[in-house]
């Protein structure tokens, strides 16, 4: 026991998390404990009394450096060296890697010298010194290694101190180095940004000067992707695969042209060939996207790896500008961990700070009011809106109590932090907004409409009567569940009533959020998709949509009605109101069988291009079949490489908890029109 205490340390959250990650890796508590005990002398955590930049410097100095002769690139992440923390870590963001490629530590030092004095300056100086020392240690290890390309690699690393990257290969190595530093400094859910655009200049230069061929570039990208995939068990957050490592490709330009290049295709082709769940791709699309790029994307999706996810610039960029982002920044958006629009290099925006759960105020209302006194549906809806308002106000108060952990490394690459001499955790960035995801909107909308239909319109039930049945989890009343679930007008159908009801609810949340600011002076925003459709539904009572106690909430923007066509769901999603603060990720989630795409490939491509014009916000596809999933659950060893789409990421099916597997099987069966 004393040994275990030494491993964990006193109230060391980071060490506890690491041991949890070991357990997830080994899937056995005894193997985890044995490995942790054997590794006790590898653990290192500097004192919390030091400046944060000095803490990171000491971690960099202690981190073990491993020069892998089998890996093209140098990527030496030491999972045992931990930066301590007392507050909530900033996460779910992407630094601007163009500043990494086209900058040097000398330039960063010059920026820091403009600051006269103070804690921020001292912390940044310690960080930069730590990076320089880390580079020297890596170069020393490379020198002593047996690598044949040691001279080139040493040059790449020494250049980081004094000059910008000069080649495509060097740029990839530099991105990997700073990505490694971000993970090593304790940050998580780290994106990669617009790599086809960021690397465009050096790629074209190398091709023109015949220092690079398309095939060599594809091989380098393959090595780059495989390197990022290393330690994905450590990089994963809530579930294995949830790393936030999103590569953004394509995108609309301010002049109306659609940006794409060779690299856009190469990244997608490499993901297709490798068939790895991580990292993943988000493709920014627009109505003038080349058709052959959609074809390449659909072929990649058809493999079942779940990407690329499509993000519709024609809809999203105007929403970003209306919200208050500068036009240039809006056109250069990337995303947070999954899909939430994010301005790299200029934003602190915490877009996954928590999830709004629409069902919570709904059930609180049901348990609080005299149901027999409710005379009209309008009165019922207005009462829910009031409870929703109270819930959101309490929610804002709770969120504004969060204290953020300082992050000198993020501050180093975030515009305005040096200018303001203020860490990103204290509002140093240009944009300091909070973003919410949300769950159970579909369940609430369907519950409300069922009450309208069965209680107030048809008068099949009294409100108090059907609520008693709900409180009893519809025990011995399966016929009522069938009525509630099979009522044809539901969330996801192209129904004017459902769309208006959905927009009424989101408008209320929008109006409340617009009247408040967060503790850093930023605004609030929210979206209609969230990863918490299972976790937030646990211990939540049954609802009037036919959902029973503890059953999962609806998944993103999807339909629980098997007969809803893909085209109808697109029509529904395109008519939702994403204006003002309602743009923080709104993902249509399709379940599609591989055979359906194979038999309708050209039609699917045309459908996707048409859907962009109709105005969907974002879209992802889970390409699998119920038969495959059922077999994989029963015989996991035979399906070790089966990949599925989960939230905004992909994962190996075998790595998922049972409730996620069961939900995927249920959704696949429903999509195929089979009985559950």
- Sheet containing strand 350-357, edge to edge, reads 350-357, 434-439, 524-526
For residues 346, 349, 352, 353, the Cα torsion angle rounded to the nearest 10 degrees is 150
Q: Specify the 3-state DSSP secondary structure of 438.
A: strand
Helix axes 214-229, 168-184, angle to 10 degrees: 10
**Residue position matching structure tokens 């931990």:** 82
DSSP string covering 333-371: -EESSSS-EE-TTTB--EEEEEEEETHHHHHHHHHHS-G
Token readout for 150 is: 């040691």
Backbone dihedral angles phi then psi of residue 230, each to the nearest 5 degrees? -60, 145
Alpha-carbon gap, residue 208 to 213, rounded angstroms: 9
Estimate the share of the chain in helix, then strand, then coil, as percent rounded to the nearest 5. 55, 10, 35
Ranges of the chain whose pLDDT falls below 70: 1-15, 112-113, 116, 676
Length of the chain: 676
pLDDT above 70 as % of the chain: 97
Alpha-carbon gap, residue 200 to 389, rounded angstroms: 47
Residues 237 and 191: beta-carbon distance below 8 Å: no
Alpha-carbon gap, residue 235 to 577, rounded angstroms: 35
Residues 90 and 424: beta-carbon distance below 8 Å: yes
Backbone dihedral angles phi then psi of residue 584, each to the nearest 5 degrees? -85, 50
For residues 48, 52, 53, 59, the Cα torsion angle rounded to the nearest 10 degrees is 40
Q: For the whole model, what pTM was predicted?
A: 0.94
Alpha-carbon gap, residue 287 to 314, rounded angstroms: 7
Say which residues have a Cβ less than 8 Å from residue 116's Cβ, sequence separation at least 6: none
What are the angstrom distances between the C-alpha of 510 and each of 315, 380, 436, 440, 573? 18, 20, 11, 17, 18
Alpha-carbon gap, residue 528 to 249, rounded angstroms: 23
Helices (H), 168-307: 168-184, 195-198, 200-208, 214-229, 232-235, 262-274, 291-300
Say which residues have a Cβ less than 8 Å from residue 77's Cβ, sequence separation at least 6: 180, 183, 184, 230, 231, 234
DSSP state of 283: E
Residues 296 and 308: beta-carbon distance below 8 Å: no
Token readout for 52 is: 């944060």
The pLDDT assigned to 9 comes to 46
Alpha-carbon gap, residue 313 to 588, rounded angstroms: 15
Token readout for 156 is: 């790449």
**Residue position matching structure tokens 């949300």:** 438
Residues 153 and 147: beta-carbon distance below 8 Å: yes
């Amino acid at each position: 026991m004393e040994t275990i205490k030494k491993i964990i340390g006193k109230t060391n959250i980071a060490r506890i998390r690491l041991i949890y990650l070991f357990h997830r890796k080994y899937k056995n508590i005894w193997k985890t404990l044995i490995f942790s005990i054997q590794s006790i002398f590898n653990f290192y955590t500097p004192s919390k009394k030091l400046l944060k930049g000095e803490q990171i410097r000491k971690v960099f100095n202690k981190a073990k450096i491993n020069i892998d002769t089998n890996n093209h690139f140098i990527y030496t992440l030491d999972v045992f060296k931990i930066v301590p923390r007392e507050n909530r870590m900033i996460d779910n963001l992407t630094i601007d890697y163009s500043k990494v490629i086209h900058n040097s530590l000398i330039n960063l030092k010059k920026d820091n010298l403009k600051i006269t004095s103070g804690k921020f300056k001292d912390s940044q100086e310690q960080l930069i010194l730590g990076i320089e020392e880390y580079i020297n240690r890596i170069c020393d290890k490379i020198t002593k290694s047996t690598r044949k390309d040691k001279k080139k690699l040493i040059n790449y690393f020494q250049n980081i101190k004094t000059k910008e990257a000069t080649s495509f290969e060097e740029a990839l190595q530099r991105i990997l180095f700073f990505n490694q530093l971000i993970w090593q400094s304790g940050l998580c859910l780290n994106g990669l940004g617009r790599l086809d655009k960021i690397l465009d200049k050096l790629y074209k230069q190398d091709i023109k000067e015949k220092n690079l061929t398309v095939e060599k570039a594809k091989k380098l990208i393959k090595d780059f992707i495989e390197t990022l995939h290393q330690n994905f068990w450590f990089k994963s957050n809530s579930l294995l695969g949830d790393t936030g490592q999103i590569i953004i490709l394509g995108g609309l330009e301010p002049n109306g042209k659609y940006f794409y290049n060779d690299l856009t295709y190469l990244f997608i082709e490499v993901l297709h060939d490798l068939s790895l769940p991580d990292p993943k791709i988000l493709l920014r699309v627009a109505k003038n996207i080349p058709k052959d790029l959609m074809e390449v994307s659909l072929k990649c999706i058809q493999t079942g790896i779940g990407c690329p996810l499509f993000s519709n610039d024609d809809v999203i960029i105007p929403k970003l500008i209306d919200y208050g982002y500068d036009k240039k920044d809006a056109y250069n958006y990337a995303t947070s961990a999954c899909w939430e629009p994010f301005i790299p290099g200029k934003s602190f925006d915490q877009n996954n700070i928590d999830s709004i759960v629409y069902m919570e105020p709904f059930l609180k209302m049901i348990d609080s009011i005299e149901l027999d006194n409710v005379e009209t549906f309008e009165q019922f809806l207005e009462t829910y809106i009031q409870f929703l308002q109270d819930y959101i106000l309490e929610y804002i108060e709770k969120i504004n109590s969060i204290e953020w952990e300082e992050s000198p490394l993020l501050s180093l690459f975030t515009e305005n932090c040096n200018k303001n001499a203020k860490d990103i955790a204290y509002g140093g960035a240009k944009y300091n907004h909070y973003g919410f995801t949300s769950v159970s909107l579909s369940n609430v909308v369907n519950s409300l409409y069922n009450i309208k239909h069965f209680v107030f319109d048809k008068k099949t039930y009294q409100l108090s009567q059907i609520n008693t049945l709900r409180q009893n989890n519809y025990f011995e009343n399966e016929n009522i569940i069938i009525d509630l679930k099979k009522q044809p007008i539901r969330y996801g159908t192209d129904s004017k009533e459902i769309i208006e009801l959905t927009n009424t609810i989101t408008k209320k949340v929008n109006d409340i959020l617009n009247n408040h600011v967060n503790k850093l002076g930023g605004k609030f925003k929210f979206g209609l998709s969230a990863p918490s459709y299972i976790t937030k539904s646990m211990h939540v009572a049954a609802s009037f949509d036919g959902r029973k106690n503890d059953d999962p909430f609806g998944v993103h923007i999807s339909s629980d009605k098997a007969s809803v066509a893909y085209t109808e769901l697109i029509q529904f999603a395109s008519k939702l109101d994403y204006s003002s603060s309602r743009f923080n990720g709104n993902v249509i989630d399709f379940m599609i069988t591989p055979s359906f795409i194979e038999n309708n490939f050209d039609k699917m491509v045309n459908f996707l291009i048409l859907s962009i014009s109709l105005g969907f916000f974002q879209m992802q596809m889970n390409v699998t079949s119920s038969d495959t999933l059922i077999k994989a659950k029963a015989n996991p060893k035979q399906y070790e490489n089966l990949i599925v789409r989960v939230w905004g990421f992909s994962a190996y099916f075998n790595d998922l908890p049972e409730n996620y597997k069961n939900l995927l099987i249920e959704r696949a069966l429903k999509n195929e029109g089979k009985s559950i």
